[in-house]
Amino acid sequence: MDQKKYKGEKKIDLYINIIILIFVLLTGIAAVWLRNLVASAMLLGIYSLLMATLWVVLDAVDVAFTEAAVGAGITTALLLFSIWLTGKHEKKSTKKPWLPLIGVIATGGLLIFGTIGMPDFGDPNAPAHLHVAPYYLQYSVSQTTSPNVVTAVLASYRGFDTLGEVTVIFTAGIGVLALLTGLRRRRRSQKLEIKK
Amino acid sequence: MIFMVASAALLFTILLGLTRAFAGPTVYDRLLAVNNMGTKIVLLIAVIGFLMGRPDFVDISLLYALLNFIGTIAVLRFVKQQRRHADE
């Protein structure tokens, strides 16, 4: 592959990233804006799908799968289940949102200001790329036989870390299921008592 | 070139789906928009794979196609349950 073609492809990559990020931004704003909570839950599903696409374009396939399965699949189902238990419409807040809004904008501005001091995207001399990354890049194929370095790092070099994460997610899932089924059962028994 | 045009067209279609998801008055409009966007994203990932010289992205898009319907089924079950609730 000659250099010029490679550069052109890099640029397409960048444009697709920018367009998808704009879509993500629009979806996020709309999800907050809408008062219908079912619509908000569905928009959050779209948000996760778009983020997953972004991860695929950025070549983090594992993160993309997690985002698509958890964000677009399970979270939508859980949100809808909680909406079913509570209410379909968001109540209008009586308080003025100005102070929290200013706080959020200030924090966001500080975070964006902080990114100015960070090394450029994909800079090979960034501190994060000088520590263990060269070792992973050199040996991941021979040691783990996985062609994707991200997969090798997540599933092999940081295998115990990932195991801990899986345990946390499993425990959280059990907790949510216990809460939701308990509520459902209580509701049903209340109904039976009323009928009696 | 053809892949570039295809990805631009797909991004435009995703934008159309987004507008329907934002505006759609009923749940079913939004449901169709979400499902449509899922399909378009599957196609977009496949096209991007060929655009970036990595045809193995097709596998990923196939798995996305398998995942895509879970959200749709969740929403439909929710609507059905709510209907039943309203009838009682």
Residue-wise pLDDT tens digits, A69-126: 888 778 888 888 788 777 777 777 777 778 888 999 999 999 999 988 888 777 777 7
How many domains does the structure of chain B reveal? 1
Q: Which of A56, A25, A20 is nearest to A43 (CA)?
A: A25
Residue-wise pLDDT tens digits, B4-60: 888 889 999 999 989 988 887 888 888 888 888 888 988 988 888 888 877 778 888
State whether A30 and B7 contact (CB < 8 Å).
no
Q: Could you tell me if residue A168 is inside a domain?
A: no
**In A34-97, alpha helices (H):** 37-57, 61-66, 75-85
In the block, residue with structure tokens 């444009």: A15
Domain that residue A12 falls in = 1-89
Q: Is the ipTM of this complex over 0.90?
A: no
pLDDT at A65: 82
Q: Could you tell me if residue A142 is inside a domain?
A: no
pLDDT at A4: 45
Mean pLDDT, chain A, as a whole number? 81
Give the chain B residue whose CA is nearest to the CA of A13: B52
Q: What is the dihedral of CA A144, A149, A150, A155, to 10 degrees?
A: 0
Q: How far is CA B72 from CA A2, A13, A117, B6, B37, in A?
A: 44, 30, 42, 26, 11
A7 pLDDT higher than 70: no
State whether B7 and A16 contact (CB < 8 Å).
yes
CATH code of B18's domain: 1.10.287
Chain A interface disruption, residue of B59, B70, B82, most A CBs within 10 A: B70
Task: Give the separation between CA A190 and CA A195, rounded to whole angstroms.
Answer: 9
Reading the block at residue A113, the tokens are 């200001």
CATH code of A38's domain: 1.20.120.1200
How many domains does the structure of chain A reveal? 1
3-class secondary structure, A87 = coil
